[in-house]
Structure 1
Amino acid sequence: MKPVIVHVVQHLKPGGIESFALEFQRAAQPFFDVHIISLEKQNVKCYWNNIDGFKAFIHMLDKKPGWQANIFTQLKQFFIKVKPMYVHTHHIGPLIYGGIGARLANVPHIIHTEHDAWHLADFKPRLLQKLIVTLVRPIYVADANFVAEQVNRLMPSLNPVVITNGIDTNKFKPSTVNKQQLLKQAGLPTELKFIGCAARLESVKAHDVLINAMHNLPSNIGLLLAGTGSLKAQIAQQIIDLHLEKRVFFLGHVEDMTTFYPLIDVFCLSSNNEGLPLSPMEAQACGVPVVLTDVGGCKEAVCSKTGLVVQPNNPALLSQALLSSLNQKNTLSPRVFIENKRSIDKMISQYVSLTQADLRWKLC
């Protein structure tokens, strides 16, 4: 029998936390039975591919808005049944339900990872989290030094352990197929160099800044946008206004991101707010350099020898950095940084070691 780990998330719609849980599950499966419980119910296959082999390990509850006492009972019963070595919660709702459910089931260890502490700036959410942490007593983790600094400033008694997010370098790796061939297969212009951005089409991701930066770049440079969101029409209108229709392409929701990164020459996030973003680390594992804005933990996600970090909300600086990255003759690959500092195997080992001091799992 493999040891059991259970992740509790709010939902399994596309996002960083959800990617974290699913990638953890897939990478750890040879050594652990990793279950994921989503408090909210949805058709997960609408958003994620390659989960068929994990159907028995993905569980959907049916939480509605507001408090539901039966969720505590359902979680308690599930934990008693599978006997996890630890329960791992993500964000405040899963901490409340998963943490209390785990305590009621006498689970030996609870880990809570803070992926972004912005919500703690408000007094009421901070008070609620403080009460729940006191009740649940989880091992408290931040996924970036930046997040740990936020937590220490707002809730200094927590003193979180820092375990940075990791990338599966066996899954995300440089393509062996010629880029021109891949672009042709995707129906994209082969004469353009491409910047790529994978992010929700929402204001926090500041796509308008990236589109304005594109307007400053030469005509042989294009942009691929992966993701969906409420601002698609607004972004599309900006593209038309700047006469970029032949250089900017919406790809929508990309189920398999390993097909996206080989199409691009540089990856960019122009965000106004981030925790420790996964997508630029995935890109670097594929050998693609990145340009990010200096928000949240972005600096910790960038290979300092191949990537660039610029001031947010500054299209002129962003376009300069993108052009510099596209023209660089650097023989170094950002993949080395991911392999040495941001691998998922190292991340899993660090989490396991928090609860099993005498256990040394060899992940390979």
Structure 2
Amino acid sequence: MSAVARQALETVSKAEARAEFSLPAGGKIIMFAGRLTDQKRPLDFLKLAAMRLGNSDETFVLLGDGAMSKACEKAIKDENLTNVIRIPFVKDINRIYRAIDALTVVSEYEGLPLVLVEAVCMGIPVVSTDVGENKRVIEEFDAGFCTAKAGDLKTISAQLDTVLAEGTDAPRPGAARARDDFSIDRMAERYARAGRLTHIKGTA
């Protein structure tokens, strides 16, 4: 995200963002964003919502579409998950970040999901399974928790309690550093450096 786009988003209030996506004006909003596939374990996110159904001030947003869409819809209906809102698609995901209080990543495996990077750069706390590069990024930018194994919803729920209790409206200190580290210029430098190293190795 460019600095200009970031500044434009900062003019959008949480209330305005929630109204835009027809989300509750009050309470805490926890989001899953990604393809609805076995790898991403969206049913685990719905199980987490079921575990916390008694928390009347929480809403769980399932953002995404995919092969498990019908299974997710069935689970929402069968478990009467009145605390879940399903959104198959949004045009600009950056805008919905302004509406939420936490992101959860419950994947079985990952490299480094873009949604996690985006949330960290936006200052949204993340609770993730310990897969791929997630832990390195979350710890480097003090962005939340990444210790649970896939399926360990008890740990994820406890860590979610912690990040929500800390409050999510104040800027997280690592967000600005993350935006710099994942900026277009910085990423271009890395690709250029990698290309030069590859060329040197190829001619050695």
**What range describes the TM-score normalised by the shorter chain of this pair?**
0.7 to 0.9
Query: CA contact under 8 A between 1:183 and 1:189: conserved in structure 2?
Result: yes
> What percent identity do the matched residue pairs reach?
26
CA deviation string 1:230-264 (max 9, x = no partner): 1111112212232213x211111222112221111
The yes-or-no answer on 1:208 pairing with 2:78 is no
Query: Which residue does the alignment assign to 1:199?
Result: 34
Whole-Å separation in 1 of the counterparts to 2:60 and 2:89? 15
Contact 2:105 2:127 in 1 (8 A): yes
SS at match of 1:313: coil
CA contact 2:60–2:84 (8 Å) conserved in 1: yes
Aligned to 1:187: 22
Q: Which of structures 1 and 2 has the bigger CA Rg?
A: 1
Q: Which residue of the partner structure matches residue 313 of structure 1?
A: 151
Could you tell me whether the CA contact under 8 Å between 2:180 and 2:186 is conserved in 1?
A: no
For residue 70 of structure 2, the aligned residue among 233, 236, 247 is 233
Q: Residue 168 and residue 278 in structure 1: after superposition, are their counterparts in 2 closer, same or farther (change >3 A)? A: farther
Q: Name the residue aligned to 1:270.
A: 106
Q: Aligned equivalents of 2:181 and 2:17: distance in 1?
A: 29
Alpha-carbon deviation of 1:329?
A: 4.3
Whether the aligned pair in 2 keeps the contact of 1:303 and 1:337 (CA below 8 Å) is no
- The 2-side partners of 1:348 and 1:237 are apart by 44
Unpaired segments ≥5 residues, structure 2: 198-204
Letter in 1 for 2:151: N
Q: Distance in 1 between matches of 2:179 and 2:94?
A: 17
- Whole-angstrom distance in 1 between the partners of 2:51 and 2:151: 14
- Residue 298 of structure 1: aligned partner: 134
Query: 1:300 and 1:186, CA in 2 relative to 1: closer, same or farther beyond 3 A?
Result: same
Q: Distance in 1 between matches of 2:3 and 2:63?
A: 21
- The CA deviation string for residues 126-180 of structure 1, in whole angstroms up to 9 with x for no partner, is xxxxxxxxxxxxxxxxxxxxxxxxxxxxxxxxxxxxxxxxx65554566322212
Q: Aligned partners of 1:263, 1:329: CA distance in 2, in Å?
A: 14
CA RMSD of aligned residues (A): 2.2
Of 295-304 and 274-283, deviating more is 295-304
Larger proportion of helix: 2
Aligned pair count reads 190
Task: Tell me the equivalent position of 2:161.
Answer: 323
Structure 1 alignment gaps of length 5 or more: 1-166, 358-364
SS for the counterpart of 1:292 is: strand
> Does the 8 A contact of 2:123 with 2:143 survive in 1?
no
Task: Measure the CA separation in 1 of the matches of 2:3 and 2:79.
Answer: 38
In the superposition, the TM-score normalised over structure 1's length comes to: 0.48
Deviations 1:263-293 (A, max 9, x none): 1111111000100111111112112111111
TM-score normalised to the size of structure 2? 0.82
Cα pair 1:214 1:319 within 8 Å, conserved: no
| Match runs of 1:125-164 below 5 Å | none
Any idea what SS the aligned residue of 1:299 has?
A: helix
Helix, strand or coil at the partner of 2:67: coil
1:102: which partner in 2? Answer: none
- 1:191 and 1:243 map into 2 onto residues whose CA distance is 21
Q: What whole-Å deviation, never above 9, does each CA across 1:307-341 have from its counterpart, x for those lacking one?
A: 11122211111111112111114853341341343
Q: For 1:271, what is the secondary structure of its paired residue?
A: coil
Provide the rounded CA distance (Å) in 1 between the counterparts of 2:106 and 2:176.
24
Task: Tell me which residue corresponds to 2:189.
Answer: 349
Instruction: Give the AA of the match of 1:226.
Output: L
Report the Cα distance in structure 2 between the residues aligned to 1:354 and 1:205, rounded to whole angstroms.
Answer: 30
* Alpha carbons 1:194, 1:221 under 8 Å: kept: yes
Choose between structure 1 and 2 for higher RCO, CA contacts under 8 A separated by at least 6 residues.
2
Q: Is the 8 A contact 1:169 1:285 kept in 2?
A: no
Sort the Cα spacing of 1:242 and 1:219 in 2 relative to 1 into closer, same or farther, 3 A. farther
What is the Cα deviation at residue 229 of structure 1? 0.5
